[in-house]
Amino acid sequence: MLEDMALRNMSPNTQKVYVYAVANFARFFGVSPDKLGLEDIRLYRLHLIERGLKATSINPIVGALRFFYGVTLDRKDIATDIPFARKEDTLPAVLSASEVMQLLEAVSSLKMRVALTTTYAAGLRVSEVVTLMAKDVNSRRMVLHVRQAKGRKDRYTLLSDQLLLILRRYYKISRPQLYLFPGSEPSQPLSTRAVQRACRKAADEAGLGNNVTVHTLRHSFATHLLEQGVDIRVIQQLLGHRHITSTARYAQVATDAIRQIQSPLERLIIDENLAS
């Protein structure tokens, strides 16, 4: 399976997720996964649902099983009969500008605070911010170079004046050698889990509720840009979205933009009797 994924140039993170998912599937039944079939997959999915997993958690597992059966075992008859779970059409969680400040001010660690600030300022995924290198900060062109992001694609996103100032101050204090936000080993990046934990702790201390994650900062970045009137296609490129529909979701939560829209009712001359 590892060779099949490597041949298809799948990202290391996807390979890790897929191997872990198939291993858990096999462990659940206590036998090699190539000895299991559609009925076993159905029972395992019911088990995942009973555990309370949502479609967003189940679908990566489905993707792994479809790949394992369809590619590694060449059992496309099984793979095509493993449907993805239908996702709930929920709105992304978004913080206001003042809530973003509350969150960042509640982070005690300098490294974590700057990492989360960078996430919001540039609209990064957590996996992207931890793998940023010092050389990715281009102060001449005022862009951040995001390397091998989702879909194994490079892209540029914006580097604001404030973020550049913050990063320069951080660099003078921390002196990172390779990764901008190194882990316990200087040659290795900070773990995504560590950043998630720091964000969760800060959200609790700031009283922002249980729905705030690192990805909430990315949602907030996109929504705030929309509210500023930035073209949605520009935001699509900054976020690295393949499809515009992914970016369009933020239009549903851009409340400042919604408030500025005039209802067609306002163009009518309303008789006061209609309201009585």
- Shared domain check, 114 and 245: yes
Question: Is 208 part of a structural domain of the chain?
Answer: yes
Question: Is 267 part of a structural domain of the chain?
Answer: no
Tell me the sheet residues that pair with 146: 155
pLDDT at 90: 63
- CATH classification at residue 29: 1.10.150
- Shared domain check, 174 and 139: yes
pTM, rounded to two decimals: 0.69
- Shared domain check, 55 and 155: no
Quick one: what percent of the chain has pLDDT higher than 90? 59
- CATH classification at residue 128: 1.10.443.10
Query: What is the overall mean pLDDT for the chain?
Result: 87
83: left (phi over 0), alpha (psi -120 to 50) or beta: beta
Structural domain ending residue among the three candidates 30, 50, 79: 79
Catalytic residues, which ones? 125, 150, 215, 218, 241, 250
- Shared domain check, 13 and 132: no
Question: Is 266 part of a structural domain of the chain?
Answer: no
Question: Is 89 part of a structural domain of the chain?
Answer: no
User: Where is pLDDT greater, at 261 or 98?
Assistant: 98
pLDDT digits (tens, 9 = 90+) for 83-97: 998 876 566 688 999
pLDDT digits (tens, 9 = 90+) for 236-255: 888 888 877 777 776 665 65
Contacts of 120 (CB under 8 A, 6+ apart): 100, 104, 217, 218, 220, 221
Question: Is 265 part of a structural domain of the chain?
Answer: no
- What is the token pair recorded at 54? 């949502």
Binned at pLDDT 50, 70 and 90, residue 276 comes out as: very low
pLDDT digits (tens, 9 = 90+) for 130-157: 999 999 999 999 999 998 777 678 899 9
- Shared domain check, 38 and 65: yes
Structural domains of the chain, count: 2
Range of the domain at 204: 97-259
Nearest to 238 by CA among 114, 108, 139, 144: 144
Helices (H), the chain: 2-7, 12-29, 38-50, 55-67, 76-79, 97-105, 110-122, 126-130, 161-174, 192-206, 214-227, 232-239, 244-248, 255-260
Give ∠ CA 98-192-53 in degrees, rounded to 5.
Answer: 90
Question: Is 121 part of a structural domain of the chain?
Answer: yes
